[in-house]
């Protein structure tokens, strides 16, 4: 089925561990992004990419790394997990638009991460 696939769905990490959250889309979308969702905080942008080889920081990038070697994949790396990174993480993608031709995002189903 076409869409955005996130793995794993659940993860528990110990403080200081590292891990990679996977995100893949099969819609040939140029734009991909990572958000974290915390109670009362809405969706906050961590990192985004407008195409393969191009990434940029969002509003809460500290503690996270990304890379975009292919159009399909956009993994999010936690370098040294901290309890403050306990959250639900969503990956989203869209066709790249210009001017008024922006398009809606397709979100994955999320990864629920707990750091203890």
Partner 1 sequence: GENVEQHPSTLSVQEGDSAVIKCTYSDSASNYFPWYKQELGKGPQLIIDIRSNVGEKKDQRIAVTLNKTAKHFSLHITETQPEDSAVYFCAASLIYGNNRLAFGKGNQVVVIP
Query: Is residue 74 a contact point for partner 1 (CB under 8 A)?
Result: no
Here the contacts of 59-63 (C-beta below 8 Å, separation 24 or greater) are 60/36
Are the C-beta atoms of 4 and 24 separated by less than 8 Å? Answer: yes
At 99, list the tokens. Answer: 């001017």
Partners of residue 24 on adjacent β-strands: 5, 73
Of 60 and 79, CB closest to partner 1: 60
Binding mask 27-66 for partner 1 (x = CB under 8 A): ----x-x-x----xxxx-x--x-x-------x--------
Contacting residues toward partner 1, per CB under 8 A: 4, 31, 33, 35, 40-43, 45, 48, 50, 58, 90, 92, 94, 96-100, 102, 104-110
């Amino acid at each position: 089925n076409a869409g955005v696939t996130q793995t794993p769905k659940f993860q528990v990490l110990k403080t200081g561990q590292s891990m990679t959250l996977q995100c893949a889309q099969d819609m040939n979308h140029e734009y991909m992004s990572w958000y974290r969702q915390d109670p009362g905080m809405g969706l906050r942008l961590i990192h985004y990419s407008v195409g393969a080889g191009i990434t940029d920081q969002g509003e809460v990038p500290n503690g996270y790394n990304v890379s975009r070697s292919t159009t399909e994949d956009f993994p999010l790396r936690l370098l040294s997990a901290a309890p403050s990174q306990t959250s639900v993480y969503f990956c989203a993608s869209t066709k790249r638009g210009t001017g008024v031709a922006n398009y809606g995002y397709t979100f994955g189903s999320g990864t629920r991460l707990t750091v203890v």
